[in-house]
Amino acid sequence: MIETVPTTAYQDQKPGTSGLRKKVRHFQQPNYIENFVQAIFDSLDGFEGQTLVLGGDGRYHNREVIQVVLRMAAANGFGRVLVGQGGILSTPAASNVIRKYQAFGGIILSASHNPGGPDEDFGIKYNIGNGGPAPESVTDAIYARTQAIDAYKTVTAPDIDIDTIGESFIEGMSVQVIDSVADYAALMETLFDFGAIRDLIGSGFRVVFDAMSAVTGPYALEIIGRRLGAGEAAVFNGVPLPDFGGHHPDPNLVHAKDLYDTLMAPDAPDFGAASDGDGDRNLIVGKHIFITPSDSLAMLAANAHLAPGYAAGLKGIARSMPTSGAADRVAEKLGIPLYETPTGWKFFGNLLDAGMATICGEESAGTGSDHVREKDGLWAVLLWLNILAVRRESVAAIAEAHWATYGRNYYARHDYEGIDTAAADALMAELRGKLASLPGSAVAGLTIASADDFAYTDPVDGSVSAKQGIRIGFEGGSRVVFRLSGTGTSGATLRVYLERYEPADGDLAQDTPQALAPLITAAEAIAGIARHSGRSEPDVVT
């Protein structure tokens, strides 16, 4: 029986860079989840009888919320829900299922790389029919609805068994529990030469993958372990746990340190990779060499034609504004357009749908292509492996040859986490206030050439997104970018992105911290980070 339940609106349900993310306990307030899910449905038109895709990264509270959404989807008139077995779907796998089965949209339960558990983070995100994150027009409508909502719809029904593949019904709505991995693995087989990668691995090339006790475990075990023949032992932390084993499932040099150390050891494997909580990020580490995500994007774009799915070449490359310009040089050489978008995968959707870009990437360890509408961690790993299988060179040799052709963009991101929100806002306001006066002035021995607040006009639909980050350009091509994170759940996180270009005939073998030292000093002098935040060092350097 369909019930309409009265509720009281919450004023803090504004989706951030990637959906609504809060502490689990915050989500456990009365009707907090129901309000947000109803606001999503109320903001959509024409889903009566249509299909919804539902899954998550398996974190604490995932299973309970799946049941809530199933009942509400039935009450609101969806015809069918496709749910990943056990409530599990990685973010790129969910994107694929939406596209493959022509669903109306999907709800993904994840707080991505944020930790999980009763005192940690949870998240809810809506994806549209192209498989990608809802654009700002939709998330703005959802937020507006959350502020006025006074009732939600649900049905009285027992919990659905989400662990057994097959079909059941709630109030006439079909619930199909699907294999979480099968459709995704099949898609990967269409893009990459699995035979060539199997031969590479069979020849003694050693691959390891750290699933960080998060969603990619079953995907990596099936694809890397079984289909590519690397074996189960190649997958570390391959069982998804509700609290990710107490770790941050964030594939960077701090949280994936075990993997990094494995690849830096004297008898290191040839290739190592990791993914995040929901499977859309990737970390690539070759034997004795770390590949920055910005470089990885550029190297993948330069070599993508070696994989069957990209043999026809790329239509264009898109990168988020703070991502380094390494990919720009590849686009230039290939004679294809390069698009610079705000941070967040939702800004790539229109470019991909319009066939303007084939490969996209972000400095935050996100890379993907037009095969789905999300970034895709395992896809990046497989493209790397396909390239390695064709070139039969080491990761280090590929990187060095790349820099010798295009030059090298030394790059790092400094994060100041959990700082006081008012202090972070003051820092940004002060920066914005002095932008006009900066060009021409000298800081830490560098001359400022340009200073602005990045605004993006979508070339497809003309929508404008302003205030997307402060860019300071220096003479000689170096750059510092300042922006506040839109995914955190406590206080504010300031991100400072540092980049220095060294041409192909320059010094390509410097230590990154040393190469960036003048920029680090300049960033402090320009923004007064210590004065505003009370911090003299970043919490995380990636």
Interface with ligand VG1 (CB under 6 A) = 17-18, 112-113, 276, 280-281, 320, 343-345, 362, 364, 366, 485-487, 495
Q: Are 532 and 457 in contact (CB under 8 A)?
A: no
Q: Active-site residue among 18, 43, 110, 112?
A: 112
Residues 260-299 within binding reach of Co ion (CB under 5 A): 276, 278, 280-281
Please state, in angstroms and rounded to a whole number, the distance separating the CA atoms of residues 230 and 404.
Answer: 32
Q: Which does 76 bind (CB under 5 to 8 A by kind): ligand VG1, Co ion, none?
A: none
Contacts of 50 (CB under 8 A, 6+ apart): 78, 79, 80, 103, 104
- Of 238 and 251, the one with the shorter C-beta distance to ligand VG1 is 251
Query: Least distance in Å: CB of 114 to ligand VG1?
Result: 7
The answer to the question of residue 112 lying near Co ion (CB under 5 A) is yes
Reference 241, options 86, 387, 128, 375; nearest CA is 86
List the single partner that 17 binds among ligand VG1, Co ion, none, CB under 5 to 8 Å by kind: ligand VG1
Residue 222 within binding range of Co ion, rule CB under 5 A = no
Q: How many residues bind Co ion (CB under 5 A)?
A: 5
Residue 408 binding: pick among ligand VG1, Co ion, none (C-beta 5-8 Å cut-off by kind): none
Could you tell me which of 126, 124, 118, 111 has the C-alpha nearest to residue 61? 118
270 close to 262: Cβ distance less than 8 angstroms:
no
User: Cα angle vertex 497, ends 492, 498, to 5°?
Assistant: 145
CA–CA gap between residue 48 and residue 175 (Å, rounded): 15
**Of residues 344-403, those binding Co ion (CB under 5 A):** none
Contact partner, 126, from Co ion, ligand VG1, none, Cβ < 5-8 Å per class: none
Nearer to ligand VG1, 133 or 286 (CB): 133
Instruction: Write out the H or E segment, with its range, that includes residue 473.
Output: strand 470-474
Q: CA 136 to CA 346: how far, in whole Å?
A: 8
CA 167 to chain centre: 31
Distance CA 527, CA 429 (A): 10
Q: Which is nearer to ligand VG1, 21 or 329 (CB)?
A: 21
CB of 367 to ligand VG1, least distance (A): 11
Minimum distance of ligand VG1 from residue 129's CB (angstroms): 20
Residue whose pair of structure tokens reads 């396909």 in the numeric block: 386
Tell me, yes or no, if 465 is annotated catalytic: no
Distance CA 114, CA 106 (A): 21
Considering beta carbons, is residue 56 or 269 the nearer one to ligand VG1?
56
Distance (Å, rounded) from C-alpha 218 to C-alpha 468?
36
Q: Give the residue with the Cβ less far from Co ion, 183 or 278.
A: 278
Assign residue 141 a region: left if phi > 0, alpha if psi is -120 to 50, beta otherwise?
A: alpha
469 binds, among ligand VG1, Co ion, none (CB under 5 to 8 A by kind): none
> What is the rounded distance in angstroms from the CA atom of residue 281 to the CA atom of residue 413?
16
- Cβ at position 250, least distance to ligand VG1 in Å: 8
Task: Considering the complex, state which of residue 281 and residue 329 has its C-beta at the smaller distance from ligand VG1.
Answer: 281
Sorted by sequence, the CB contacts under 8 Å of residue 387 that are 6+ apart come out as 299, 300, 303, 304, 306, 307, 398
Question: Smallest gap, in angstroms, from Cβ of residue 488 to ligand VG1?
Answer: 6
Q: Which does 377 bind (CB under 5 to 8 A by kind): Co ion, ligand VG1, none?
A: none
We find the least distance from the C-beta atom of residue 320 to ligand VG1, in angstroms, to be: 6
- Residues of this chain that interact with Co ion (CB under 5 A) are 112, 276, 278, 280-281
Active-site positions read: 112
